[in-house]
Amino acid sequence: MCQRLACKVTSKDVYELTPFRIIARGVSRALESLGVQVEERTVEFIVSESPNPAYGDYGVPLARFARSHSVGFEELASRTIRALSSEPVVESVKTVHGFLNIRVNAAVAARALVEAYRCEGEGFGMVKSERPLRIVVEHTSANPVHPLHIGHARNACLGDTLARLLKARGHSVETRFYVNDMGRQIAVMVYGFILAGLEDVPSNVKPDHYIGLVYAITHTLADIEQLKRLLERLKAEGRDEEYRERLRELDSLVADASRLRERNPELFDRIAEAIKGRNPEEDIQELMRKYEYRLDSSVVRLFQRLVSRCLEGFRKTLRELGVSVDKWDWESRLVWEGVVGEILEKARLSPYAVTYKDALALNLQPLLSDPSLREKLGVPQGYEVPPLILQRSDGTTLYTTRDIAYSIVKFAETGAQKVINVIAAEQRLEQLQVRLALIALGYMDYGLNMLHYAYEMVNLPGRKMSGRRGRYVTLDELLAQARSLAREEVEKRSPQLPDSVKDEVAKAVGTAAVRYSLVSVAAPKPLTFNVKDALNYEQNSAPYVLYAHARASSILAKARERGIELDWSGIGYDEAARNPLRRALVLHVLNYPYVFVKAADEYKPELLVAYLNRLADLFNKWYTSGDSVVNEPNPAARNFKLALVNVVKQVLANTLSILGVKPLERM
């Protein structure tokens, strides 16, 4: 492999050869020569594939520019054609009803691809940013009170994929998990352990699963207790209608409770017995105070022990998913080390400070009267932000207050220029409040450079999930199911493989199927996760792409076996256009650097998924067309095909890796 500096052709050069860039430059220059300034990006965005191969490969509605800039279409077209004709990668240019179409010279494209591949090897196609940034990606950050489920999985896969993608783009990325150990939910979970008389999770169970059960039992029993008190009061006050309504609520809670009891009757009864005659609400508040103010060292130790145990479970699950986290930030640290106190102090002195409902709050609404700030933050016209309460009357802080402190830490501790928070869309208001609060407190840059990467919920058909009630399908179960289905497939399709390989393939394929389907849908869209569909190993799935990769590997292995060497200096590039299947494949690979850059710069991993589907599709079509590689007698043609397989394999492998999927040599 030659040195990067010695490269004659790089992926960046390939990027500039893609139809999008070529056409954008040509049109932009032609317009410029007519005295009109149009940004290349404006043109680039509307380049599209030609609907009919007779028109060409890619085209752009040129008439629109002629009209909107009052220049003659014929004049503009002829200048654009002149500009594009001098580009070797452009084979021909023509206009068809208002569109300008180009046909790509596949041989020139293929040469560029192969030369860039030879120079960059594994780094092929992953064009480095000219402005590398320090970026923090916070993701997953599940409350440590129950196991990770499918919704957390979407978060983890998006976060991990973004991190890998941005790293590949040349940024320096750190991933962080916000350990929420100070919320009310944690206190409920700890309360359950106290009621059960347990100091730790039994050693024979996965800790997050056990903790999830204790949490659900405790939450449900506490809610029942609370509701019973309310019912008594309603009855006494003769509010019959309300009473009946609440009674139905109680019924449903009792049904949840009995389902929970089935999972561990002994544990359930112990907690139920202990909670009798207590006031759970008061007990839980007391625990929260004891923890936040560190009033009772045994309580503090219990909180920390149980949260740590839950995190152990998370780590195990995430490892199985192929997700890693660089730093685990405990919320409590922010309070105990005084970062939160500083925020409160700053807030008190701030001109935005108000007293709202007798509590310290920030009135953020005035910030929104600045239209440019509004625009930068993407706040809609009539949107009003309610005052943000920072401190309860008992002096304890709130989640959002601590999140403000955390946001500052994420920037300040790392020197990051950008922080991306992968957080559920339902937290939109909270995330906006945090950004506004940062600005109000004098951290303008932080407020503007923090991105809420919002994703919608994952629906499981026919189920309603609830952590508090213990109704969820754990990610562990889902992965196990995916792998077991994959294992059946391997058994069916490749019985000849040794067991150890079958296991490895099944594990990789099952995990890949889950990851792939979770990032395939754009984040702001709700995703319906149908276990069967995700594990339906056909087109549009990880196994389909993995299979294409395995086939490419198989060709190269077969070539090696037969002693066929690739002579890089004897490649017949003209072979690229010899049949439409080869040509289509070359043209699609040519687009890779462009798609990669777009996916990274616009934070759209789903573009990579769509690209991979198409690449695997084109490769499989070519593969099955009978245009054999190893049986090709003509050396120039054989060298071309071998080189193409190498490049395709590399692109498949790189992109799968960005998606956190391990490419397989066989399956």
Partner RNA sequence: GGGCCCGUAGCUCAGCCAGGAUAGAGCGCUGGCCUCCUAAGCCAGUGGUCGGGGGUUCAAAUCCCCCCGGGCCCGCCA
How far is it, in rounded angstroms, from Cα 441 to Cα 331?
20
**Of the residues 85, 539, 579, 634, which one makes contact with RNA according to CB under 7 A:** 539
Candidates 120-128, 157-165, 221-229, 619-627: pick the segment binding RNA (CB under 7 A).
Answer: 619-627
**Of the residues 427, 466, 481, 657, which one makes contact with RNA according to CB under 7 A:** 427
How far is it, in rounded angstroms, from Cα 343 to Cα 634?
73
With vertex at residue 123, the alpha carbon angle to CA 117 and CA 124, rounded to the nearest 5 degrees, is: 35
Q: State the DSSP code for 586.
A: H
**Of the residues 265, 386, 570, 580, which one makes contact with RNA according to CB under 7 A:** 386
**Of the residues 121, 525, 570, 634, which one makes contact with RNA according to CB under 7 A:** 525
Candidates 90-98, 156-164, 367-375, 652-660: pick the segment binding RNA (CB under 7 A).
Answer: 90-98
What is the helix (H) or strand (E) element at residue 459, kind and residue range? strand 458-459
How far is it, in rounded angstroms, from Cα 414 to Cα 296?
33
What is the three-class DSSP state of 491? helix
CB nearer to RNA: pick between 241 and 538: 538
CB nearer to RNA: pick between 185 and 650: 185
How far is it, in rounded angstroms, from Cα 45 to Cα 42?
6
Beta-carbon neighbour count of residue 31 at 10 Å?
21
DSSP letters of 509-526?
A: HHHHHHHHHHHSS-TTS-
Q: Which amino acid is at 86?
A: S
What is the three-class DSSP state of 129? coil
CB nearer to RNA: pick between 134 and 392: 392
CB nearer to RNA: pick between 51 and 88: 51
Residue 520 in the binding site for RNA (CB under 7 A) = yes
Structure-token pair, residue 204: 């024979």
Residue 425 in the binding site for RNA (CB under 7 A) = yes
Residues 6+ apart with CB under 8 A from 594: 15, 18, 20, 21
Candidates 195-203, 231-239, 266-274, 381-389: pick the segment binding RNA (CB under 7 A).
Answer: 381-389
In whole angstroms, the minimum distance from the beta carbon of 382 to RNA comes to: 4
Closest CA to 596 of 212, 24, 167, 230: 167
How far is it, in rounded angstroms, from Cα 523 to Cα 520?
9
In whole angstroms, the minimum distance from the beta carbon of 245 to RNA comes to: 18
Residue 304 in the binding site for RNA (CB under 7 A) = no
Residue 282 in the binding site for RNA (CB under 7 A) = no
The residues in 92-111 that bind RNA, with binding defined as CB under 7 A, are: 96-99, 101
Residue 368 in the binding site for RNA (CB under 7 A) = no
Candidates 232-240, 296-304, 306-314, 545-553: pick the segment binding RNA (CB under 7 A).
Answer: 545-553
Beta-carbon neighbour count of residue 624 at 10 Å?
10
Residue 430 in the binding site for RNA (CB under 7 A) = yes
Candidates 85-93, 151-159, 231-239, 389-397: pick the segment binding RNA (CB under 7 A).
Answer: 389-397
3-state secondary structure 205-265: CCHHHHHHHHHHHHHHHHHHHHHHHHHHHHHHCCCHHHHHHHHHHHHHHHHHHHHHHHHCH
Q: How many residues bind RNA (CB under 7 A)?
A: 104
**Of the residues 35, 351, 380, 498, which one makes contact with RNA according to CB under 7 A:** 380
Residue 584 in the binding site for RNA (CB under 7 A) = no
CB nearer to RNA: pick between 272 and 585: 585
CB nearer to RNA: pick between 61 and 170: 61
Taking CA atoms, 569 is separated from 114, 486, 635, in Å, by: 11, 42, 11
The residues in 47-76 that bind RNA, with binding defined as CB under 7 A, are: 48, 50-52, 55-56, 58-61, 63-64, 67
Q: Which residue is it, tokens 């317009």?
A: 31
**Of the residues 242, 273, 337, 426, which one makes contact with RNA according to CB under 7 A:** 426
The residues in 449-508 that bind RNA, with binding defined as CB under 7 A, are: 456-457, 486, 489-490, 493-494, 505
Candidates 196-204, 305-313, 365-373, 612-620: pick the segment binding RNA (CB under 7 A).
Answer: 612-620
**Of the residues 262, 357, 500, 563, which one makes contact with RNA according to CB under 7 A:** 357
The site map against RNA for 394-413 (x = CB under 7 A) is x---xxx-------------
The sheet with strand 359-362 has its strands ordered as 353-356, 359-362, 388-389
Candidates 127-135, 175-183, 474-482, 585-593: pick the segment binding RNA (CB under 7 A).
Answer: 175-183
Residue 244 in the binding site for RNA (CB under 7 A) = no
Closest CA to 10 of 107, 153, 118: 118
Q: State the DSSP code for 456.
A: P
**Of the residues 11, 28, 175, 553, which one makes contact with RNA according to CB under 7 A:** 553
**Of the residues 27, 158, 527, 647, which one makes contact with RNA according to CB under 7 A:** 527
**Of the residues 76, 389, 438, 450, which one makes contact with RNA according to CB under 7 A:** 389
In whole angstroms, the minimum distance from the beta carbon of 465 to RNA comes to: 10
CB nearer to RNA: pick between 120 and 331: 331
The residues in 248-277 that bind RNA, with binding defined as CB under 7 A, are: none
Torsion 366-367-370-371 (CA) sign: negative
In whole angstroms, the minimum distance from the beta carbon of 172 to RNA comes to: 25
What angle in degrees, to the nearest 10, is found between the helix axes of 207-236 and 265-275? Answer: 40
Answer yes or no: are the C-beta atoms of 409 and 450 closer than 8 Å.
no
Structure-token pair, residue 228: 């019973």
Residue 183 in the binding site for RNA (CB under 7 A) = yes
Residue 40 in the binding site for RNA (CB under 7 A) = no
Closest CA to 590 of 21, 6, 5: 21
**Of the residues 420, 438, 555, 659, which one makes contact with RNA according to CB under 7 A:** 555
Give per-residue burial for 82-91: e unless 16+ CB within 10 Å, then b. Answer: ebbeebebbb
What is the helix (H) or strand (E) element at residue 498, kind and residue range? none
CB nearer to RNA: pick between 97 and 248: 97
In whole angstroms, the minimum distance from the beta carbon of 261 to RNA comes to: 25
With vertex at residue 484, the alpha carbon angle to CA 483 and CA 487, rounded to the nearest 5 degrees, is: 85
**Of the residues 10, 140, 180, 407, which one makes contact with RNA according to CB under 7 A:** 180
